[in-house]
């Protein structure tokens, strides 16, 4: 987006926000004006601070979360607590509407993340990718589970819930952030290399396994079904998904046939139906949305059309509103626990970098490249934040742990973006990497695993 265009958008958003604020201050405080004011302020702060982060060669999501922290109880609430709580009430009609909008942004973002999965990355580098992924899952999971079991007193979790929380921390430290990783590699001209293929393939497996474990944890919390039955249901959903992927691979000509009618309507219905089915089963709607995205991602050229229609509305409106809302959820200053933050960050980095790096070496990759793979997979990005947000909403974690996970996700993303150029001796990340443009448009061809 051109600089003049960005300034025009900023001006329009702030003008709209100011107009609504004046209406609200003047006494015209209908629920409609309040929700419009909330959304316009969130979009304005997302755009301003997201653009600032892009100028600093960082992903826009960092700025969007920062904008939410400024609007939330951490900054605005500390300066004017009464006004902040009146503008962003935690209950009432506007709060319920805002929760609905942010939930829609959440499942739409995860759906887009599923669309960016390319299973050909796994097929073409099967041995090294699978070994790297398994090692990059097992060690972080073991360390995340172990730090809870070995230090149960520091988390503030009741003893009866400790096992479930330990499983969650293991899953949380196992996942990577495929969309962010793909963009880092693309801007470094590494996406179509052997290194890029291994990282993206391993991240794909990491995300599918991690989200499956998380879905299992949520189904245990939400339902009274036994653990064995929940495991069976989770495995059944994955088997059905794999079966659909297998059938689409065998009947690709049929599967890649163009959608008829309004493609946005069909995409939205598929995403919502998958989310409803996931909620009905007992997991969060994001799990169904993610799997639906993975299935549709195998449409080949048809995926380009889906992304072209769905990407920009989601990534420029719905997703920014969701990420700004993260800063509204808690007071980051009041819940800043340095000991927990350092522990979670250290264990996350050691587990993923060491686990994925050793796995890559076992798969035949040289030491320096294996280290680069470890750092690449260490980027947790927005996917970790999504997981932490859902866990907080379900009462699985408290606010101190939520803050620690958000900071860890942001810090590991920044570190990956800095470490990869140094290890691979290539140019640093540019601003272009974080423009809201789908990969298939930036590259001319979406298949980033063609080599």
Identify the band that residue 51 occupies on the pLDDT scale cut at 50, 70 and 90: confident
**Residue 362 contacts by C-beta under 8 Å, 6 or more apart in sequence?**
131, 135
In a domain, 102, yes or no: no
Same domain, 410 and 310: yes
What is the model's pLDDT at position 105? Answer: 87
What is the model's pLDDT at position 339? Answer: 93
Same domain, 436 and 320: yes
Low-confidence winner among 76-85, 144-153, 241-250, 298-307 (lowest mean pLDDT): 241-250
Identify the band that residue 366 occupies on the pLDDT scale cut at 50, 70 and 90: confident
What is the model's pLDDT at position 444? Answer: 38
Task: Fill in the DSSP letter of residue 258.
Answer: P
Same domain, 204 and 304: yes
45, 63, 91 — which closes off a domain? 91
What does the pLDDT look like over 291-335, one tens digit per residue?
788 777 766 556 667 777 777 788 888 888 988 998 888 889 989
- Residue 44's domain comprises 3-91
C-alpha distance from residue 342 to each of 328, 346, 358, 405 (Å): 23, 6, 23, 10
Closest to 1 in 3D by CA, of 440, 443, 442, 435: 435
Please say if the pLDDT value at position 145 is more than 90: yes
In a domain, 242, yes or no: yes
Q: Mean of the pLDDT values across residues 50-65?
A: 81
Task: Fill in the DSSP letter of residue 154.
Answer: G
Same domain, 277 and 143: yes
- Residue 124 CB neighbour total at 10 angstroms: 14
C-alpha distance from residue 371 to each of 124, 207, 320, 422 (Å): 21, 20, 32, 11
Low-confidence winner among 7-16, 108-117, 150-159 (lowest mean pLDDT): 7-16
What is the model's pLDDT at position 89? Answer: 86
64, 91, 118 — which closes off a domain? 91
Same domain, 33 and 134: no
What is the model's pLDDT at position 336? Answer: 92
Percent of the chain with pLDDT over 90: 15
C-alpha distance from residue 234 to each of 72, 191, 203, 230, 282 (Å): 36, 32, 20, 6, 10
Is 401 or 61 the better-scoring residue by pLDDT?
Answer: 401
In a domain, 398, yes or no: yes
The answer to whether 263 and 306 are in contact (CB under 8 A) is: yes
Q: Mean of the pLDDT values across residues 338-347?
A: 95
Buried b (16+ CB within 10 A) or exposed e, 198-226: bbbbbbbbbbbbbbbbbbbbbbbbeeeee
Q: Mean of the pLDDT values across residues 44-57?
A: 83
Low-confidence winner among 122-126, 159-163, 316-320, 372-376 (lowest mean pLDDT): 122-126
In a domain, 219, yes or no: yes
Q: At 366, phi and psi to the nearest 5?
A: -65, 160
What is the model's pLDDT at position 224? Answer: 58
Please say if the pLDDT value at position 6 is more than 60: no
Low-confidence winner among 248-262, 360-374, 418-432 (lowest mean pLDDT): 248-262
What does the pLDDT look like over 199-254, one tens digit per residue?
877 887 887 787 777 777 777 776 655 555 555 656 666 666 666 655 555 555 54
What is the model's pLDDT at position 1? Answer: 45
Same domain, 183 and 322: yes
**Residue 269 contacts by C-beta under 8 Å, 6 or more apart in sequence?**
none
Same domain, 85 and 120: no
In a domain, 101, yes or no: no
Same domain, 211 and 258: yes
Identify the band that residue 431 occupies on the pLDDT scale cut at 50, 70 and 90: very low
In a domain, 27, yes or no: yes
Same domain, 15 and 156: no
Closest to 316 in 3D by CA, of 165, 149, 109: 109
Same domain, 81 and 111: no
What is the model's pLDDT at position 343? Answer: 96
Same domain, 231 and 163: yes
Low-confidence winner among 27-36, 49-58, 347-356 (lowest mean pLDDT): 27-36
- pTM, rounded to two decimals: 0.77
Tally of structural domains, the chain: 2
| Long-range contacts, stretch 415-418, CB < 8 angstroms, 24+ apart | 415/349, 415/375, 415/378, 415/379, 416/181, 416/184, 416/375, 416/376, 416/378, 416/379, 417/57, 417/58, 417/59, 417/184, 417/379
Same domain, 336 and 414: yes
What is the model's pLDDT at position 240? Answer: 63
In a domain, 448, yes or no: no
CATH code of 127's domain: 1.20.1530.20
91, 119, 145 — which closes off a domain? 91
In a domain, 97, yes or no: no
The answer to whether 349 and 375 are in contact (CB under 8 A) is: no
Percent of the chain with pLDDT over 70: 71
Helices (H) and strands (E) in the chain, counts: 23, 0
The answer to whether 315 and 140 are in contact (CB under 8 A) is: no
Distance of alpha carbon 422 from the chain centroid = 25
Please say if the pLDDT value at position 344 is more than 90: yes
What does the pLDDT look like over 385-417, one tens digit per residue?
888 888 888 888 889 999 999 999 889 988 887
């Amino acid at each position: 987006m051109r600089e003049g265009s960005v300034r025009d958008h900023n001006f329009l958003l702030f003008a709209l926000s100011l107009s609504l604020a004046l209406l609200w201050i003047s006494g015209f405080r209908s629920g409609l004006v309040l929700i419009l004011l909330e959304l316009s302020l969130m979009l304005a702060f997302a755009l301003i601070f997201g653009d600032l982060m892009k100028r600093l060669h960082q992903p826009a999501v960092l700025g969007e979360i920062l904008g939410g922290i400024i609007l939330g109880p951490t900054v605005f609430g500390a300066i004017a607590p009464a006004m902040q709580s009146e503008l962003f009430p935690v209950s009432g009609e506007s709060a319920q509407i805002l929760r609905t909008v942010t939930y829609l942004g959440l499942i739409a973002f995860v759906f887009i993340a599923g669309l960016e999965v390319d299973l050909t990355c796994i097929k073409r580098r099967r041995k090294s990718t699978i070994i790297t992924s398994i090692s990059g899952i097992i060690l972080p999971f073991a360390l995340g589970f172990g730090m809870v079991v070995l230090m149960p007193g520091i988390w503030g979790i009741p003893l009866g819930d400790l096992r479930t929380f330990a499983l969650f921390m293991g899953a949380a430290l196992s996942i990577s952030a495929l969309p962010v990783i793909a963009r880092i590699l693309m801007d470094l001209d590494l996406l179509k290399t052997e290194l890029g293929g291994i990282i993206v393939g391993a991240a794909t497996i990491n995300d599918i396994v991690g989200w499956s474990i998380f879905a299992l944890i949520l189904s245990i919390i939400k339902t009274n079904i036994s653990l064995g039955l929940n495991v069976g249901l989770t495995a059944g959903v994955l088997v059905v998904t794999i079966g659909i992927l297998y059938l689409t691979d065998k009947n690709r000509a049929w599967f890649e046939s163009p959608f008829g009618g309004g493609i946005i309507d069909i995409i939205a219905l598929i995403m919502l139906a998958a989310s409803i089915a996931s909620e009905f089963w007992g997991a969060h709607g994001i799990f169904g949305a993610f799997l639906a995205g993975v299935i549709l991602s195998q449409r080949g050229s048809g995926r380009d059309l889906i992304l072209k229609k769905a990407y920009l509305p989601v990534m420029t409106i719905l997703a920014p509103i969701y990420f700004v809302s993260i800063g509204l959820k808690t007071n980051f200053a009041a819940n800043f626990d340095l000991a927990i933050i350092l522990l979670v960050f250290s264990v996350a980095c050691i587990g993923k970098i060491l686990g994925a790096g050793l796995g890559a070496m076992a798969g035949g990759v040289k030491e320096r490249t294996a280290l680069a793979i470890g750092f690449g997979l260490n980027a947790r990005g927005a996917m970790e934040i999504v997981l932490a947000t859902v866990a907080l909403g379900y009462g699985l974690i408290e606010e101190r742990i939520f803050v620690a996970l958000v900071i860890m996700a942001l810090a590991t993303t920044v570190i990956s973006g800095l470490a990869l150029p140094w290890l691979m001796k290539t140019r640093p990340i540019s601003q272009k990497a974080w423009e809201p443009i789908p990969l298939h448009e930036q590259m001319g061809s979406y298949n980033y695993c063609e080599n």
